Structure 1
């Protein structure tokens, strides 16, 4: 599947962040729900005085309530419009966008770049506190309170069995025609001096609800309700387990998206579109 920029257009990379609390996720939806994509596309159309809108493509379509610090998107703009507005675009967008979404960078993208398909990894953080008094009021929109003491060492032991390329069907909400095979590159937890436990989760891509399901399983290990080998056994079973809870979205933040060197962007763009199978699995 080709991904050519139309003649007379320029592909622009946007780096952005948002507080997801009052958004119904990234993607535009019917019914007038407020979304990040909708806000940015509306602002872009207004500040450029364009007669029509321009659709964004995003690296990671975050769910309702999920935040982003290092989200990446692209948009194809007419070359004349880009030339006219590029110098003042960021400032104009800052004046038009609501305060819970900001664009920090808008640059012409290198050849072959696609915000979604050129990415080689996405890194999320999920933040939790098990303090008996609850969550710091200033952090309540970004940190989950878990009302059982957590054994972080046990959670890290459990996490190691989940690393690598697997079919994560047991930890994903199934979508018709979509694969659940992913490569989990990192899953580790650290408690900081303030007692906040931060889980770092990095993979080539994520299927729906994957991060929040993985954290839900690890919390059951951390609070002693399951043994450290349980999340790995759930993964191997390959089916959703009713004991795996999808934790609340507000503790989750997309921190960073990784891309290869410019000369490898086009090849990655094509590779990522192929339907994945595990080694030894049938194609159909």
Structure 2
């Protein structure tokens, strides 16, 4: 399995849940269950040329729910084929876009025909990864520290997820608009200085993406803050959601019980909620 596919699957499972996509004994075939109901599962084959050249390919219906109408599984399988054909772009992972488009069509009854090229924003107001061209990357050194005092006029406007508590650990995410690394530094410093709970948190993970010069260059970076691998997963989430000029911060208060890979699902879930709320203006 390629690193791109590995990262994509981890991000999808973090955004939704472990049952959304799961491996089989065949290393190239996965069971894909359309969230949130998971009432239809199909087999997806990922060729070795994905995502560079070829899209995933369906290999039949795996299962349907007990209350699923006869023939609905085959109908959804055909719809998955349509969506894969319409959203895949060589060189770009597409599973997040596939899930979003399937959910949109199944919930609205718009179950045929490709997505319009103008539909570069999903039903939650988040630009899709397929619409986000990958320009030249430009990484920069951290900016100098901001002044120690803050005022209401320069306070970041955060969108906040509901807290998520599991096995005594609590996760909470915030997202805000940023347009420079200096703004990222300022927002993080402001959060630490003005929120006592964040200052006392076990981990404060973050990631950002900023686009410059008419999408010809961009900057992105992430921070684990001791939660190894979490920052990279946050950055991958932003890439899959296709968002730009956004900083997302996830805070974890450790409750004394190790969560294993479950912690990444929690990080992804609250982060996605914060970004969606930011795009919706909430």
Give TM-score, length-normalised by structure 2. Answer: 0.29
Bigger relative contact order (CA 8 A; separation at least 6): 1
Higher helix residue share: 2
